[in-house]
Amino acid sequence: MNPPLGHLESLDDLTLLRHHLAGDLDAFEVFLRRYQAPLYGFLVRFTASCSLADDVFQETFLKVHKAAATLHD
């Protein structure tokens, strides 16, 4: 089990991504954890492959990381 990351867990997604862009590595971890279980579960069911689900999951969050700077309120 991952340790809690304090006040970051109560922040909304946009604020977490802003913290991430400012260099706070923990903020992106909190964002990722927030969606990890439901998204990964969906991807496993959708693709019928844990390996493919892993690849799609990683690609998804890589795209979120790269696109974070373009987000608006």
Comparing 33-37, 43-47, 58-62, 69-73, the range with the smallest average pLDDT is 69-73
- Average confidence (pLDDT) over 32-55: 96
pTM of the model: 0.78
Q: How far is CA 45 from the centre of its chain?
A: 19
Q: Write the DSSP assignment of 4-67 as a string of letters.
A: P-GGGGGS-HHHHHHHHHTT-HHHHHHHHHHHHHHHHHHHHHHHS-HHHHHHHHHHHHHHHHHH
Q: pLDDT category, 1, cuts 50, 70, 90? A: very low
